[in-house]
Chains A and B, each alone.
Chain A
């Protein structure tokens, strides 16, 4: 009996040691960036992990420096993110609700088509979208980003949202119809209030998407004063390597913290969405 107890102790101690290592490994890069953002000077090189002295000057510079235009990027991104969030939530809700709660000809075919379209590499169509935007004169505008993000969200979130609507009980809907509520009333008065968690999920994913997309945004936005934060941060690292590192770190922390918190709050949905998507093929 005594022997098993020591072996359990060893096992538990080993497990804690292992978990500590994992957590250290998980947190190291993030904490390194956070500490770098408080480090005096501009370069990547630092003698110690925790800087000898701390400063807030990089955060101040982000918003004060005229040449950097970080605050312009910030408001550009905020604008794009808010509008994409509104439109995408509307579009995703409309399409998911129609495809989930009604049966009509071509329904199954549309769902299969959407699944197949999702398997094409997204970048493949980016060039075509670029030419299309050029044709209608929307290059280098935020409208283009808003339109593409909003409709892109349909492809992205449709199956999660549809899965949510699938789970809403039929009984409530039937009761409302019995009381004489039509399609529109059932949708706006009964179903929408019930689907608040899903609406929040779709809204927040599109909102954060606008903050982190640098590929499409850098393709469409040609002039520096139109850039979004992600394009700007990418440019800071790519064009200057370590010359602007601490500024990049400050910008990254500034953007990453709200998004990270949102994500932690939403992570359950992401996991559920992935398993649901897998079960439906």
Chain B
């Protein structure tokens, strides 16, 4: 079975290479049959990889420990569900899974756009299949073929290359059959972690489609907004997946890692955040190209950058260049990634320079008080946050290489620099929707901004005065009241504008059609999905910011050691003083490979009992790895979050860490709103509504020739 899987992935590699060559030659020499054959090859790659993935899953489920990967990530005691998810639990399997997702994306894009995008399609196939070939060559160990000649040249790296094959090939066979496997990393046995990688991968590989269309547009000089219209929904889907992946990752970290936080500015977290930042900038700036035919070069730069960062992200994760809690085992495939990344970026940039003449702007910027100008500022801020993150992530490497000094850049740096930048972004997010294209009249703008400004001032002043009083009880928090009040003022400003925008639309609809307000709201959103879906995404961002500011500024924590019967107290900035009384420690039923010890704590707030918490310590026997599982008491105001850090004397005395995380649940609620908003914005319109989109819009010059006819 393993041999069959390996054969399938090898054949997929050959076909992917064939498809890219055939598509290129077929397009250059005008041989439609060859292009068609390339298309079919691309579809066959998807089918072959589906077979390979199915076989790998069967190997995992049946516990075929002779296959190295199966022995690494599963063991006999694991439930089948976790055996299934072990597919993306380590390097080799996740590579296969990644390639499979990409091949499916490509197949879907090829099938959907084939008739409409005849000119671009061959090059889309070339770009995607080359990318796919790279990943497949890692799986099939094609690079190990280089090992022998390299060794002949006296390069010692060759042996590493050879050894790596075992870690990148999910079908690699051992010479013997181990009695049992090691099992999945305990940290990954959480359903947040089960959903997080596939969703994040979907986001990552999804960006290959807009990138491939962009490159195809450059090659064929079809640089109008046709490609942008085509890939808009693909980009949104990729972006949505990436956003969901990030949110799920945060949720997992919060629920599993036991430090009360959800984002640590870890290199790998940053690696996933960076393409999201540039991708978000891209999503905003393509709107200008769609509406006004401007910033074409800039959009190309953004999509190349985003795709480059996707590859860079996988490079960071898999190469061990930057140490991180997320990195897969150190491996020698790093240099290969770097070469692939450099080739991709350099080729794209050279191509872009060569095609600058067909990327001229069709319009000029009219005023600084216009949506175009504000989108540009939005782009600048996103790129600034990206740059800070990039620089902070790579600084340890740069510092060691150039300055010769080791350094670590921790969360304080990122929070201090990115915090104000993100606040400015929220401010822009508030104002920008009020800006019309081209030029705004000052009087009208002033009138629209009146109430939001009042809301901002009232919120800031109110929180500042109330906050100072509330926080005198907590030492060391006074200094945070002013920045937090300002942040919340900005949020109130942006929120008021969005409510006002919805209100305007509903009122207009109510007066013109006579519908009730509820109905009017539904129709308003349904008829203008992009606009109001976008607003909903902004509402999600505001709610997420509410939680982020709450936890960053007003988290309270304490660590205390308690004998049975003793209590610790922790004072929340919002609700009252919790008192946690230690009742004892005991073993609890758990799966065979886990020894589970739970502490019992009764909780009361301001003297009234509010429940019992069971912070837990799981010891994974095969892996010899302990894991702390926090116990939480959720409410909309805050979470009480408790872990048991250790115990002595058979459990008569134990050490607890307790956290109060104000407003943290708004982060998850905001995430759901955010996802709903994106889904509304990306939802395909019914066919009759879509019709006019193929015809040029009234009132704008037509330069791009739709290439289908």
Whether A and B are associated in the same complex: the answer reads no
